[in-house]
């Protein structure tokens, strides 16, 4: 498995059977731009797009990439229905607690503590379902958990018990999600990750700019922290 951070909460996951984009917010992603990355390059060959929730900094370029590549888009039921009105045709929908098989891997929607909406040009706010974490189970690869945008919560222990994820993608930027120190506590108290990858930082001035608080909080843990720069990859 090859995991490439694209800045913010966006990732490209490559396995022998699938090429996956998670939360492809790319066009207005400062980390993505600073790395000199191109949307066409990271979208090449994509088979699936997975969305944790409906905020614009996560849905991002989903509609255009889906149209250009024919990728299947997975989202919660309300967000999927909204994307269909935008011209996305290949959709799979689910909701919290549900599992969707996608051929070679499956995705379970877990709880996340956040919100999920978009305001359209007419000023109307559209509720787009509940926010989720996404648990990716593969036939022959490590289990990967993208937490989505969330705070710490005690039921993370149940999520770990049910799924035993090997890799955690963890939001650490504070203000809109838990900060680095709390994210480290979540990883150490509730999970047994082999590798933790921080995200959702450095994109906007009002969130934390570096992963240092998270890295410091993970000192002494059995979990390895991988903090790639945008465009860099982690092998698992």
Per-residue pLDDT of the chain (236 residues; tens, 9 = 90+): 999 999 999 999 999 999 999 999 999 999 999 999 999 999 999 999 999 999 999 999 999 999 999 999 999 999 999 999 999 999 999 999 999 999 999 999 999 999 999 998 899 999 999 999 999 999 999 999 999 999 999 999 999 999 999 999 999 999 999 999 999 999 999 999 999 999 999 999 999 999 999 999 999 999 999 999 999 999 99
Residues 170, 149: Cα–Cα separation, whole Å: 8
Is the CB of residue 59 less than 8 Å from the CB of residue 94? no
As a CATH number, domain 2-235 is 3.60.15.10
Q: Quick count: other Cβ atoms within 10 Å of Cβ 166? A: 17
């Amino acid at each position: 498995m090859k995991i490439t951070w694209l800045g913010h909460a966006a990732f490209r996951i490559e396995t022998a059977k699938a090429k996956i984009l998670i939360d492809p917010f790319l066009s207005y992603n400062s980390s993505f731009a600073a790395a000199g990355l191109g949307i066409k390059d990271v979208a090449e060959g994509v088979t699936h797009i997975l969305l944790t929730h409906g905020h614009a900094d996560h849905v991002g370029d989903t509609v255009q990439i889906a149209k250009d590549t024919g990728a299947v888009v997975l989202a919660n039921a309300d967000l999927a229905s909204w994307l269909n009105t935008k011209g996305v045709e290949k959709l799979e929908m689910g909701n919290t607690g549900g599992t969707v098989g996608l051929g070679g891997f499956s995705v379970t929607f877990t709880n996340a503590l956040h919100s999920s909406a978009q305001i359209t040009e007419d000023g109307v706010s559209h509720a787009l379902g509940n926010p989720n974490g996404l648990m990716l189970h593969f036939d022959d690869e490590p289990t990967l958990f993208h937490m989505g945008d969330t705070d710490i919560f005690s039921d993370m222990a149940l999520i770990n018990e049910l799924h035993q994820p090997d890799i955690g993608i963890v939001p650490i930027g504070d203000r809109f999600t838990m900060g680095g120190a709390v994210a480290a506590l979540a990883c150490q108290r509730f999970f047994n990750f082999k590798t933790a990858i921080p995200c959702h930082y450095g994109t906007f001035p009002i969130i934390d700019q570096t992963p240092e608080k998270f890295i410091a909080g993970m000192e002494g843990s059995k979990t390895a922290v991988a903090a790639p720069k945008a465009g860099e990859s982690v092998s698992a």
